[in-house]
């Protein structure tokens, strides 16, 4: 697999169309207007290409500053993300996405960096426990009050009344729903505590409901798998 990180404004019309078509093959309810508008709001995109140069996955993101409790924090918000099943066995997306996130923060001193994301599929949520020691919400303990307030603040700022703080769910007015073959949960996954927690926390995921989640992007918060995944690609000093 070949990966590259690009500024969305530099993508050609053909590349943007191919990204849209990849989304439409895996999601229902995709609006070209909304997809392109969302892409235009982002300042980064990770593209994965197969051996023939075909697009097999991508993830868009925006890096920005947010003021919380009178202090500035850095935030990565993930946008549209999809990986074709043919590339699920590759770690290229995980490796490149995390390297791109940390690279955005290279020159921002010790200011904390948080990853804010919403997920309508258990596979994306499962990324969190693989790479991070602490992430919220999760099945082992309630979300700490300060982290819950930060998550709520970010979600309300982004989604307004489409976000329900009590459940942690975002219900978009024009929801994107996973195709049935991606929405179904294999029986072998049902005993996984993280998958079970996601299904319990987001029972409406098949309707396009999104679970809001957050984690701190720092060296100390990476799992052993996360450290192995990134190797020496981490360009910044840990926050704090």
Residues 79-134: pLDDT tens digits? 999 998 888 888 888 888 888 998 888 766 678 899 999 999 999 999 999 999 99
Q: Give me the pLDDT at residue 181, please.
A: 84
Nearest-CA neighbor of 60 among 46, 75, 76?
A: 46
**Rg of the chain on CA atoms, in Å:** 17
Contact between 195 and 122 (Cβ < 8 Å): yes
Q: Give me the pLDDT at residue 107, please.
A: 67
Q: In angstroms, rounded to a whole number, what is the distance separating the alpha carbons of residues 38 and 122?
A: 22
Q: Give me the pLDDT at residue 87, please.
A: 84
HSE at residue 198, side-chain half, CA atoms within 13 A, is 29
Q: Give me the pLDDT at residue 82, please.
A: 92
Q: Which fold has domain 2-230?
A: Aminopeptidase (3.40.630)
Q: In angstroms, rounded to a whole number, what is the distance separating the alpha carbons of residues 190 and 192?
A: 6
pTM metric for this prediction: 0.90
Enumerate residue ranges in the chain where pLDDT < 50: 232, 234-240
3-state secondary structure of 90: coil
Q: Give me the pLDDT at residue 235, please.
A: 45
Contact between 50 and 56 (Cβ < 8 Å): yes
Q: Give me the pLDDT at residue 78, please.
A: 93
Q: Give me the pLDDT at residue 186, please.
A: 86
């Amino acid at each position: 697999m070949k990966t590259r990180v690009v500024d969305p404004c530099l993508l050609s019309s053909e590349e943007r169309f191919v990204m849209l078509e990849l989304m439409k093959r895996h999601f229902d309810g995709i609006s070209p207007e909304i997809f392109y508008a969302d892409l235009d709001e982002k300042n980064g995109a990770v593209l994965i290409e197969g051996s023939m140069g075909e697009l097999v996955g991508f993830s868009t993101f925006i890096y920005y500053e947010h003021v919380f409790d009178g202090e500035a924090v850095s935030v990565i918000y993930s946008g549209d993300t999809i990986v074709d099943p043919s590339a699920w066995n590759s770690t290229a997306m995980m490796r490149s996405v995390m390297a791109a996130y940390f690279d955005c923060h290279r020159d921002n001193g010790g200011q904390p960096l948080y990853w804010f994301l919403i997920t309508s599929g258990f596979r994306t949520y499962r990324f969190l426990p693989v790479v991070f020691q602490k992430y919220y919400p999760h099945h082992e303990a309630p979300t700490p009050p300060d982290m819950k307030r930060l998550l709520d603040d970010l979600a309300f700022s982004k989604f307004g009344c489409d976000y329900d703080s009590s459940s942690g769910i975002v219900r978009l007015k024009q929801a994107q729903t996973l195709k049935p073959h991606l929405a179904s949960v294999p029986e072998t996954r049902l005993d996984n505590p993280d998958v079970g927690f996601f299904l319990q926390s987001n029972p409406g995921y098949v309707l396009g409901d999104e679970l809001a989640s957050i984690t701190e992007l720092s060296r100390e918060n990476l799992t052993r798998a996360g450290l192995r995944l990134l190797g020496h690609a981490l360009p910044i000093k840990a926050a704090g």
